[in-house]
Amino acid sequence: MSTNDNVKTIQAVYEAFGRGDIATILDALTDDVDWASEADSTEVPWWGVRHGKAEVADFFTQLGTEMEVEEFTPLAIIGDGDVVLTVARYRAKSRTNGKAATMNLHHHWTFRDGKIASYRGAEDTLATLRTFQP
């Protein structure tokens, strides 16, 4: 697949996220996808490493259970071959305590045979922890 195709896939994934269409996101992944948001931590339910589509589905379940996404706006999407880097503006509110955080998210996507094979996401961990914890 071309760089342009990979960028279009990420745009489609972000549009699906905005609609809450997790099935479309999962369809864009390899069966053995390596997925991690804040890979080195499990302090909040959606952080940590996941493998395979079922575990990625759990990522979205955990995120949706804990947080209400109020804004998700892609600011930059840049591709180079099988790598796509993105920055997105994100605002979410805790469903438990009502606290909110606004931050930029940084995503690193890697493709294999036209599908997303890996994802690494980084966020403002301090802001997330302050929002998530009571």
pLDDT tens, position by position, 26-45:
999 999 999 999 999 999 99
Q: Which domain holds residue 78?
A: 3-132
Q: What is the mean pLDDT of residues 67-73?
A: 97
Q: In what order do the strands lie in the sheet with 100-112?
A: 48-51, 29-37, 115-122, 100-112, 83-94, 67-80
Is it the case that residue 97 has pLDDT exceeding 80? yes
CA dist., res. 14 & res. 116, Å (int): 13
Residue 132: per-residue pLDDT: 83
Residue 19: per-residue pLDDT: 95
Residue 134: per-residue pLDDT: 79
Is it the case that residue 57 has pLDDT exceeding 80? yes
The long-range contacts involving 2-8, CB below 8 angstroms and separated by at least 24 positions, are 3/79, 3/80, 3/81, 3/84, 4/79, 5/114, 6/79, 6/81, 6/82, 6/83, 6/84, 6/109, 6/111, 6/114, 7/77, 7/78, 7/79, 7/84
Is it the case that residue 111 has pLDDT exceeding 80? yes
Q: Quote the pTM value.
A: 0.94
The CATH number given to whatever domain includes residue 23 is 3.10.450.50
Is it the case that residue 86 has pLDDT exceeding 80? yes
Confidence of residue 1 (pLDDT cuts 50, 70, 90): confident
Question: Per the structure, how many domains does the chain have?
Answer: 1
Is it the case that residue 56 has pLDDT exceeding 80? yes
